Amino acid sequence: MEELSAAGEPAIATHALTKRYRGGQLAVDRLDLVVPRGSVFGFLGPNGSGKTTTIRMLMGLIEPTSGTARVLGEEMPRAGRRVLPRVGALIEGPALYGFLTGRDNLLRFDAADPTADPRTRRARVDAALDRVGLVAAAGKKARAYSLGMKQRLGLAAALLQPRELLVLDEPTNGLDPQGMREIRTLVRGLASEGTTVFLSSHLLDEIEQVCTHAAVMAQGRLLTQGTVAGLASSARGRLAVTTPDTAEAVRVLKEHGVNNLTVEDDRVTGEPPAALRELADLNAALVRAGVRVRSFGTARASLEDAFVALTGEGFDVAG
């Protein structure tokens, strides 16, 4: 992991982090998470898989049952007072006053920060509003805001001070496609300035679009973590062959262990066997059998393919 040694300690590192709630529910089970500095890290898992519980422990809101969590190189929750000012967090929707305007909500957040200089308050609030694209709506009461605007106002509050790390719990939950796009653009912009962004989501697609790295949780356990490209490539994509000799191609491919074959016009697709090391051997077998191959290749595997390969089941968003 080169990025770790280059940038010193990771932004987040947990070791055997565990949370058992009082009722006995094991919500997070010996989690070893490594979030490299500068990454946009997607924390992925179906509802109830332990994402929010992990985030609460990282932010020092609840105590772990056992294990450790380090954030920006310091132990949480012990070093919370030193660490948290360097972290912007948006957890379970921002706490806004509906009767105040967007701008007044931010002025209030800023005033609650003892380290914030009152003389530069207006400039900070205006910069944050600009950052999230809320300048035009800044004079409207927050209760008139759409869900997406509220979410952006929450982000603006988290961005009043420069932050090394942003922690966002399901930042696009409940947003329409336009709202989701806006949040994605914002996250990319922040990342390009060097902010590490850690965001949880139950949407595979979203993680794939915006994240450089991801971890996959299921039932409190970490299934895998790594770069998004690496996770996707660990799953083999579907094989696709175009040929005028489809029947013969199906026969040869089946003989070589290719599963779930389908034929559509001149295109034959299927799942190459896991044991197969060299895809080129399949192509050679087709040619040997006299199948005229027009094209041969695999479709790029997605994060969803990787998830299915890991768990043997689909990604169940309903949990």
DSSP string, 102-146: HHHHHHHHHHT-TTS-GGGHHHHHHHHHHHTT-TTTTTSBGGGS-
Q: Assess 191 for contact with ligand ATP (CB under 6 A).
A: no
Q: What is the DSSP letter of 40?
A: E
Contact between 45 and ligand ATP by CB under 6 A: the answer reads: yes
Only segment of 22-30, 137-145, 184-192, 292-300 that touches ligand ATP (CB under 6 A): 22-30
Among 53, 172, 195, 269, the residue binding ligand ATP under the rule CB under 6 A is 53
25 binds ligand ATP (CB under 6 A): yes
Minimal distance in Å, beta carbon 45 to ligand ATP? 5
Cα 269 vs. chain centroid, distance in angstroms?
30
Output the smallest distance, CB 49 to ligand ATP, in A. 4
Please give the full DSSP string across 228-282, using - where no structure is assigned: HHHHHHHSPPPEEEE-S-HHHHHHHHHHTT-EEEEEETTEEEEEPPTT---HHHH
Q: Does 291 bind ligand ATP (CB under 6 A)?
A: no
Nearer to ligand ATP, 45 or 179 (CB): 45
Q: Is 317 in the site for ligand ATP (CB under 6 A)?
A: no
Q: How far is the CB of 116 from ligand ATP (least distance, A)?
A: 31
What is the distance between the alpha carbons of residues 121 and 137, in angstroms, rounded to a whole number? Answer: 19
- Identified binder of ligand ATP from the candidate list 16, 47, 130, 254, rule CB under 6 A: 47
Angle at 319 between CA 87 and CA 165, to 5 degrees: 10
Q: Interacting stretch for ligand ATP, rule CB under 6 A, among 46-54, 75-83, 141-149, 191-199?
A: 46-54
- Shortest distance, position 136 Cβ to ligand ATP, whole Å: 32
Our finding on whether 246 is near ligand ATP (CB under 6 A) is no
Closest CA to 53 of 19, 90, 94, 87: 19
CA–CA dist 150, 147 (Å, integer) = 5
- In the list 42, 50, 179, 272, the residue contacting ligand ATP (rule: CB under 6 A) is 50
Asked if 103 touches ligand ATP (CB under 6 A), the answer is: no
Q: Which is nearer to ligand ATP, 49 or 105 (CB)?
A: 49
Strand order in the sheet with 239-242: 259-264, 267-271, 239-242, 295-298
Of 157, 180, 161, 166, which is closest to residue 41 (Cα–Cα)?
166
Q: What is the largest CA-CA distance in the chain?
A: 80
Q: How far is the CB of 314 from ligand ATP (least distance, A)?
A: 17
Interface ranges with ligand ATP (CB under 6 A): 21, 23, 25, 27, 45, 47-53, 202
